[in-house]
Amino acid sequence: MKLICLLSVFLAVSTTVECAKILGVFHLSGKSHYMACSTLMKILAEKGHDVTVVAPLKEKNPPKNYRQIYLDGISKKNDEVVKNIKLFDFDPSPYLKPIFFHFMSTSSIEDVFDHPTFKEFMKTDEKFDAVIIEEFQSEAMKYIAHHFNAPLIVYSAQDANGWTSTYQGNPDTPSYHPNYLMTHLTNHMSFFERVENSVFYIYSKLMSDVINFSSQNRLVHKYYPDAPHLADIAYNVSLVLLNSDPSVHEPIPKVPSMKDIGGFHIRKPKPLPQDLQTILDNAKHGVIYFSLGSNVKSKDMPKETRDFILRKFSKLKETVIWKFEDPDLPGKPDNVIIRNWLPQNDIFAHKNVKLFISHGGLFSTMEAVYHGLPVMAISVFAEQKLNGKRAESNGFARHIAFKELTEDNFGEILDDLLKDSKYRENAKMRSQIMRDKPMEPADAVNYWVEYVIRHKGAPHLRVAALDLEWYQYLLVDVVLFILTVILVAVFSIRFLLKVVLKKKPTSEKKKN
């Protein structure tokens, strides 16, 4: 028995990777994107790995083995662009979004490639055991793993979609998996919705392959002329870490190299600041927490919308804690508490929180599900509408687009969520699904990154579909071959019948 125990300990130790050198390069300067990526890298650092993070934003309190290479100036440039976009009115057509993301992504990547600090970093001869990038139509970023001759790991802020599935040979199924840009569709589509989704699937695929990919290939060779063609790099992805979870997302096919890590950002709640603790403890009728996330600012909300929201809040017995970015809120009733910043996850853990009014962001939705909270999802832009509709179909939320919000429907939805216990019961059920895992998502992040390093890029997870041309993968050549064989057989039989039928009357004539 002792021998078995010693062998078990030896195997456990031998399957871990001690102090790997891991590089994370994250080109997007959006706060929500950076917070997710830095959290992922901090998990690895806290597990004992030597982490280097190249990004246009800084981590305030990094772990001791978390090295930062700050690309200054990029974030400020991005903030200037975003400042001119009125997010509450920003709702372009789905057919314009691939064009928007194309220019946004290539511009962000070039900002990184052209940054003096990044150029100096790329001249070093450092060695890394793995390179992690964020997938956001960012094929050119994959060159970095090739440059350092290290396995490439991709993090995606969403579930499997065209941006990730293409490069893993993962089946994309427009019959029941709506394109993430078609936010008005669900996984139960009517015939014409499936037609619409299929047409958009072809359109976005052409945009990606013909315009975006070739553009990013040129971008790589502009800065690294000796690089191989991007097609030789982009499909060489060892692992995709997906911010998805069965409690929030519908089930879809995923090849072995794609792993769900949804909820990895949720940490054990920390003690609340004393003023917030007192407010929550003293809220005898419960608390409604209201936040529109890090990108959408409540202070920029149209005055008429803000006013009718405040009128409704003034009629409630519950305390409302609102993440509001301006200390001055005219007409604020006494039961509304505003703060520029709030520790959302720590607040959700308090027993007196009854409801979350959200923008429908995925990270916020996951935090609400984890803590078993009903959600009022007021989607503003991007994939928020899709997240809100999913939450509603899962029974723990009501969704409405911000542009459709009126004083009447805001009050009706809010009252429904507060009074009908089914939303909280469904939220608790979804919370159980999220928590029922063989390992915590943060541990899964570390395990799969170590797995890739341990197995030298884990090529055994790569599916053979990646070695096929598109017409082979779709069996176009097989279908054409079968049709050709059938047609040849049909014409051959037809020809033989004609020959036989022509000969038959001649032989009868001779007998007569």
Hey, which bits of 187-255 come out as E strands? 239-242
User: What's the pLDDT at 2?
Assistant: 46
**Of 180 and 141, more confident:** 141
In Å, how far are 102, 141, 250, 324, 452 from 160, measured between CA atoms? Answer: 19, 19, 11, 33, 19
Q: What do you get for the CA distance between the two ends of the chain, in Å?
A: 100
Report the alpha-carbon distance of residue 121 to residue 376 in Å, rounded.
Answer: 45
Q: Using one digit for the tens of pLDDT, what is the confidence trace for 197-231? A: 999 999 999 999 889 999 999 999 999 999 999 99
- Do the beta carbons of residue 27 and residue 112 sit within 8 Å? yes
Identify residue 295 by its one-letter amino acid code: N
Q: Using one digit for the tens of pLDDT, what is the confidence trace for 264-313? A: 999 999 999 999 999 999 999 999 999 998 888 899 899 999 999 999 99
User: DSSP string of 190-204?
Assistant: -HHHHHHHHHHHHHH
Residue 333 DSSP symbol: -
Q: What is the mean pLDDT of residues 467-481?
A: 92
Report the alpha-carbon distance of residue 18 to residue 89 in Å, rounded.
Answer: 49
Task: Please give the structure tokens belonging to residue 288.
Answer: 């409604």
Q: Decide if pLDDT at 472 tops 50.
A: yes
Within 18-174, where are the H helices?
Answer: 31-46, 74-83, 97-113, 116-122, 143-147, 162-165
Q: Using one digit for the tens of pLDDT, what is the confidence trace for 386-409? A: 999 999 999 999 999 999 999 999
SS (H, E, C) 446-500: HHHHHHHHHCCCCHHHCCHHHHCCHHHHCCHHHHHHHHHHHHHHHHHHHHHHHHH
Residue 72 DSSP symbol: T
Q: Decide if pLDDT at 15 tops 90.
A: no
* Confidence tier at 505 by pLDDT (50, 70, 90): low
Q: Which of 20, 11, 123, 144 is nearest to 456 (CA)?
A: 20
Q: Using one digit for the tens of pLDDT, what is the confidence trace for 308-341? A: 999 999 999 999 999 999 999 999 999 999 999 9
Measured CA angle at 36 (ends 33, 42), to 5 deg: 135
Q: Decide if pLDDT at 241 tops 80.
A: yes
User: What's the pLDDT at 497?
Assistant: 87
Report the alpha-carbon distance of residue 258 to residue 260 in Å, rounded.
Answer: 7
